Structure 1
């Protein structure tokens, strides 16, 4: 029996979701959307099919078939749930609510933002461990260095370098380098986040006017305090976790299952959050007319500030 092959080009934004932002090309062409490159906001942006959008190279670098199967289990059930949203009956079937909530969680975990958080947490843990070993076990370090190298290490810099060398040889660090640690982490986090999100209800939000867009880090934690909109905090500190699912619909994890209509000002603020939180691209319906809005928002993207 054959083994599933590693997938190099891995979609972070589900194609089933990106298709909601597409329209058919003239003369029977394929459905396409408009990717907007935030690194080059002034360029002419060309329409593309969903297969060319929302992906990363080797996002999960080892044993990707296992996570692809996990994502696929959710994504296969999404079209029926989206059809219920379009029909105005998102809560008629509890299974649709479950899959839409899972779709939000999937995009929160399967994201460049989560990969960065994971890498930062591992690096902080490595730094703390090196400091702990130097402080609590200096003599053991000196003896091990003497045994391995024949050198007696005296200064803290030499001890730190040797401690780092030992830690880099550990199984967990080797798993980090191979990508195995990230694959395990992303699967575990998805299951934990799905359990946490199951206690939340689902809000289906529709614009009074205007359209939503979607970024390449689309599922975002959000907290509104007075006139400030803050995004990107830990799930437990957020008021909601939201995800655009089409130009006319956005999902938000809240306190009750409800459909809401929001004014243009609210749509603009959520669209600005998508632009600010994106890694590089946002995706628009080709006839949304949002290009000038995105270009202005791209020029105001702050470095490190997660407040709008």
Structure 2
């Protein structure tokens, strides 16, 4: 049975986005404030969680089964979030497992992972083209003669036909259809889940202020630099952080704990979310974070302009 493709896919779980909402004007439902980090001067408008944190055709192949995979984590989240809000996140070991899986899910199901995957594939593709020309030139010439009836005269034409062979390969076809990404992201989810199982869970609450959440919401960080460095490989990170509401943030760490953190650290974490975002961060409409986000988005633009 063919299952309809799901085009609009949430990379930030709606169950998390709802934590940042409040009731809007009459009839408008629950809303949060999206902030465009590429256009910080733009007037921001409140939106519902269903319209935020999405990507069109993020998983283009077998999207329904991917949604089922995400759902195997997300359907268990509300009870775990309720335990966090009640101050008892460690009363049930299953809550710890779910919350840790929630961090892993948002680390892998992200714009950043998609970019790393695409870059890695293109690097392999270029390397394979070079190896074909260097190690198997006569094989390439014979295949060109078989397919086209032409003798390749020089290295330029040899390279062009090698590229054609790569385009014809099963791996490239699967890359184009999205099948390869669908397999890759599931394998990576399972791999990171195993790695993360060795970590414990920290639940951080702000002494003052609020957290916001970005559209690359689970971010690797190192805290031995000021400002915090971020987006390093999992094995090089001190933690992965994920906002789960204005007043709660999850961090993978050496032991289970609930700890209150000062405003300066809250600001550092929010800055990481803004700088790591693909396009948007999201905040509670009454958080007073819009001015902060605007300043950090300008800072991000200035830093990228000087690279």
Q: Provide TM-score, normalisation by structure 2.
A: 0.96
Q: Distance in 2 between matches of 1:170 and 1:291?
A: 49
2:141 match: 142
In the alignment, which residue of structure 2 is the partner of 1:260?
Answer: 259
What's the counterpart of residue 104 of structure 1? Answer: 103
Aligned residues of 2:227 and 2:268 also touching (Cα < 8 A)? no
Secondary structure, in 3 states, of the residue corresponding to 1:259? strand
Distance (Å, rounded) in 2 between the aligned partners of 1:141 and 1:194: 42
Between the aligned partners of 1:240 and 1:156, the Cα distance in structure 2 is 48
Match of 2:14 in 1: 15
Question: Measured at CA, do residues 43 and 226 of structure 1 come closer, stay the same or move farther in structure 2, by a change above 3 Å?
Answer: closer
Q: Deviations over 1:245-294 (max 9, x none)?
A: 00011111111111111111111111011111111111010000001100
Alignment root-mean-square deviation, CA = 1.6
Residue pairs, 1:145-224, within 5 angstroms: 145-224=144-223
Unaligned runs of 5+ in 1: none
After superposition, residues 58-137 of structure 1 pair within 5 angstroms as 58-137=57-136
After superposition, residues 244-259 of structure 1 pair within 5 angstroms as 244-259=243-258
Summarize the Cα distance change of 1:61–1:226 in structure 2 as closer, same or farther, 3 Å threshold: closer
Question: In 2, distance between residues paired with 1:295 and 1:65?
Answer: 37
User: Which consecutive unaligned segments of at least 5 residues does structure 2 have?
Assistant: none
1:233, distance to aligned residue in structure 2 (A): 1.2
Q: CA deviation at 1:96?
A: 0.2
TM-score (norm 1): 0.96
Say which SS state the counterpart of residue 191 (structure 1) adopts: helix
Displacement of 1:89: 0.5
Shift of 1:138: 1.0
- When residues 43 and 120 of structure 1 are mapped into structure 2, their CA distance, relative to the original with a 3 A threshold, is same
Deviations 1:42-72 (A, max 9, x none): 1221111101111011111121011100101
Larger deviation, residues 6-15 vs 222-231: 222-231
- Alignment match, 2:242: 243
User: How many residue pairs get matched?
Assistant: 305
Offset at 1:152? 2.1
Q: Distance in 2 between matches of 1:182 and 1:304?
A: 31
Tell me, yes or no, if the aligned pair for 2:240 and 2:251 is still in contact at 8 Å: yes
Q: Give, in whole Å, the separation in 1 of the partners of 2:47 and 2:275.
A: 22
